[in-house]
Amino acid sequence: MRIAIATLGCKVNQLESDAIAEEFMANGHEVVPFPRPFDICVVNTCAVTAKASAESRRLLRRARRLNPEARIVATGCLVQVAPQDLLDALDWQVCLVGNDQKDRLAGRVLAHGDCIGLYMGDVARLTRCQDFPVRSPLSRTRAYLKVQDGCNAFCSYCIVPYARGRSRSLPAAQVLDQVKTYAEQGIREVVVTGIHVGMYGTDLAESPDLAGLLARLCETFPRMRFRLSSIEPLELTHGIIEIAQTRPNFARHFHIPLQSGSDRILRAMNRKYTGAFYRDLVTSIHERLPNAAIGTDVLVGFPGEDDEAFGETVSLIRSLPLSYVHAFPFSRRPFTLASALPETVGPQEKARRVDTVRGLGARKREAFYRSRIEAVEEFLVERIDREDGFITGTTSNYLPALIRIGDAMPPPPANSLIPVRITDVIHGRPVGVPAT
């Protein structure tokens, strides 16, 4: 059978889809890219924002339109938090598989030929981090590594703890095993990810914490570059920053969500740090690692965010050595504390605030790229496009750089890590030449 998998949402969802695809293939089926003709379509949904939920429903309807005879399977966070709404919204037969049973999805779907119904339990009761082993990643350069699932933080706007349950970590032996497989496949960069990755190890006896795990990975796989995905400000410890300072194969890149620069709004969001703490953290990373990329997320239009609070966010971002900023508008999510708060920022004003932060972020990004001109950075060769005449790749500090093929004689082998001198920023893209 031909299986198509459409995925929305975060890196963890993406990795889980890859593992599901492998399981289908291991059972003798062909996995085709969505929307190529399929017999079974799996839609791995997301519910992090109202827009992501709507997009998930749209994809399911599209799959149905593409092939009304096919079996359609929905899984992921939207299924976990709103199965009945989904069944009501789709007036045809669909198979729903909750996050708690996602690791058994392929087996379930293949065992039940009619494939309708609901396969899900209470995700809050899960105590084990489900393993989604990926034996043969699609990309040969970069791969995701899920070391943790779930979240105990309950930020007041966030649906994730309800969709993914409590924090659980993958034992270090399993983590190392997965990286060994990636190394055997020739992968050169691994993105260490999780839903709340800073909680790594807190639920496991005799397990390293996140800093310990990262140090072990860097030491065991010296040819591999490790990049840490988003980490909460309070969990970016001295030990982790020290790894970035001392281990050459740890990417100089941190993504640290801010969400708001107003202490009042941070409290209402149930986030346990202040703007001053965030400022000190970013400033100290910049002092210790001046070439590091430091990115952030900001949530605008939270209930009660008045002009003054928004102004505090803007001035904090403006004052910090950030390399890029992602901005999202607040949207009410079911079950969350903030869903009960009266909305005080209208849609137009919310959109204006998103634009303001994104504009600021774009200027920060350009300034960061320009600050690297003449610097030599470690560059992973991801794609050699002879037709366009460019080699594309990413530096340790997250520059999506380009090299003209003619400037690299002979062209470096794909998937190699080479030093590159950044020479310019053209149309918003850093350009470089191999450094000798």
Choices 152-160, 219-227, 281-289, 410-418; region in contact with ligand SF4 by CB under 6 A: 152-160
Nearest to 428 by CA among 392, 401, 405, 406: 401
Is 345 a binder of ligand SF4 (CB under 6 A)? no
Is 153 a binder of ligand SF4 (CB under 6 A)? yes
Is 295 a binder of ligand SF4 (CB under 6 A)? no
- 179 or 195: whose CB is closer to ligand SF4? 195
- 148 or 396: whose CB is closer to ligand SF4? 148
Chain residues 192-221 in contact with ligand SF4, contact rule CB under 6 A: 195-196
Binding-site size, ligand SF4 (CB under 6 A):
10
Is 258 a binder of ligand SF4 (CB under 6 A)? no
Pattern 223-252, binding to ligand SF4, x per CB under 6 A?
Answer: ---------x--------------------
Taking the complex as a whole, how short is the minimal distance between the CB of residue 409 and ligand SF4, in angstroms?
Answer: 46
- 196 or 353: whose CB is closer to ligand SF4? 196
Residue from 160, 170, 191, 192 that binds ligand SF4 (CB under 6 A)? Answer: 160
Choices 150-158, 174-182, 218-226, 357-365; region in contact with ligand SF4 by CB under 6 A: 150-158
Is 422 a binder of ligand SF4 (CB under 6 A)? no
- 8 or 63: whose CB is closer to ligand SF4? 8
Taking the complex as a whole, how short is the minimal distance between the CB of residue 163 and ligand SF4, in angstroms?
Answer: 9
Taking the complex as a whole, how short is the minimal distance between the CB of residue 336 and ligand SF4, in angstroms?
Answer: 9
Is 158 a binder of ligand SF4 (CB under 6 A)? yes
Number of Cβ within 10 Å of residue 28's Cβ equals: 8
SS (H, E, C) the chain: CEEEEEECCCHHHHHHHHHHHHHHHHCCCEEEECCCCCCEEEEEECCCCHHHHHHHHHHHHHHHHHCCCCEEEEEEHHHHHCHHHHHHHCCCCCEEECHHHHHHHHHHHHHCCCCCEEECCCHHHCCCCCCCCCCCCCCCCEEEEECEECCCCCCCCCCHHHHHCCCEECCHHHHHHHHHHHHHCCCCEEEEECCCHHHCCCCCCCCCCHHHHHHHHHHHCCCCEEEECCCCHHHCCHHHHHHHHHCCCECCEEECCCECCCHHHHHHCCCCCCHHHHHHHHHHHHHHCCCCEEEEEEEECCCCCCHHHHHHHHHHHHHCCCCEEEEEECCCCCCCHHHHCCCCCCHHHHHHHHHHHHHHHHHHHHHHHHHCCCCEEEEEEEEEECCCCEEEEEECCCCEEEEEHHHCCCCCCCCCEEEEEEEEEECCEEEEEECC
Taking the complex as a whole, how short is the minimal distance between the CB of residue 343 and ligand SF4, in angstroms?
Answer: 19
Taking the complex as a whole, how short is the minimal distance between the CB of residue 292 and ligand SF4, in angstroms?
Answer: 22
- 180 or 267: whose CB is closer to ligand SF4? 267
- 70 or 197: whose CB is closer to ligand SF4? 197
- 198 or 434: whose CB is closer to ligand SF4? 198
Is 154 a binder of ligand SF4 (CB under 6 A)? yes
Taking the complex as a whole, how short is the minimal distance between the CB of residue 154 and ligand SF4, in angstroms?
Answer: 6
Ramachandran category for residue 187: left, alpha or beta (phi over 0 → left; psi -120 to 50 → alpha): beta
Residue from 63, 151, 218, 381 that binds ligand SF4 (CB under 6 A)? Answer: 151
411 alpha carbon, distance to own chain's centre: 31
Residue from 9, 161, 261, 329 that binds ligand SF4 (CB under 6 A)? Answer: 161
Taking the complex as a whole, how short is the minimal distance between the CB of residue 187 and ligand SF4, in angstroms?
Answer: 26
Name the site residues for ligand SF4 (rule: CB under 6 A).
151, 153-155, 158, 160-161, 195-196, 232
